[in-house]
Amino acid sequence: MSESKQLHLALIQMDITIGEPDRNFARLEMLLQEAVQNDPKPDVIVFPEMWNTGYALTEIQQLADVNGERTKALLSNFAKANHVNIIGGSIADKKEERVLNTIYAFDREGAEIAEYSKIHLFRLMDEEKFLHSGDQLGRFELEGVRAGAMICYDIRFPELARKLALDGARILFVPAEWPHPRLHHWRTLLMARAIENQMYVVSCNRVGTSGTTSFFGHSMVIDPWGEVLVEGDESEAILHATIDLEEVVRVRAKIPVFEDRRPHLY
């Protein structure tokens, strides 16, 4: 691999209208078109968790995208038409009678490169009452580089991020609907996952209000040293950052955390 493997990122930090997939699809299509107009044009576009329905859990059986078909058609076609990779946030995804919280990702040719369903369901939002958890890790290749995916609450489980890093991930994508008042947790956990695993963390959180819950955005791109390269505020925005994936190699060589592990003791 060359000394530089740069990727231009666009994070669509959007508001989501609970229980209205048509409105959310229309909004996302508009923001996708806006994202690809940036200079430099993004290589990868990322967006938030459950963007198609929001947390309309009591209606989720009726609202979920059956087998992700509508979502996959939109994202695959857009990726191919615009020659861009898409980490498609996550959606309420209905498979037979089970609804999962699923990421679909596509390469520049519109081919599906990843499907990951959230492993850890968040009881404070009653996810376990309406959704089923996934049972596979979010591992895939992006532009020839290994990457990983987690969703929102997953970041509270360092074992999962470490497993992805041990499997070679240099970049971790984290779509989320992370609400107030836990901004400090959000920022701290994401930076910790980047530092301890010496990899890029690309997190995309929603903004806006759903019922009595408000979401603070603060989507971030964090480098392998834990430095924040870009961070949103609490308003809808498209955030841009450029990363060099060879920096992961350099950081891991400088502080050889993985070589110095002693897993037989822990």
Q: Is 129 a catalytic residue?
A: no
Question: What is the length of the chain?
Answer: 266
**Residue of 118, 127, 204, 247 with catalytic role:** 118
Alpha-carbon dihedral sign for residues 245, 140, 95, 152: negative
Whole-angstrom distance, CA of residue 263 vs CA of residue 266: 5
Whole-angstrom distance, CA of residue 251 vs CA of residue 229: 16
* Residue carrying structure tokens 């968040």: 122
The letter for the amino acid at 79 is: A
Secondary-structure breakdown of the chain: helix, strand, coil percentages, each rounded to the nearest 5: 30, 30, 35
The answer for residues whose C-beta is within 8 angstroms of residue 245's C-beta and 6 or more apart is: 5, 6, 7, 145, 170, 171, 200
* Residue carrying structure tokens 């949103």: 232
Q: Which two tokens stand for residue 15?
A: 């508001």
Whole-angstrom distance, CA of residue 176 vs CA of residue 75: 18
Q: Is 234 a catalytic residue?
A: no
Q: Is 97 a catalytic residue?
A: no
**Residue of 94, 152, 177, 204 with catalytic role:** 152
Which residues are part of the catalytic machinery?
A: 49, 118, 152
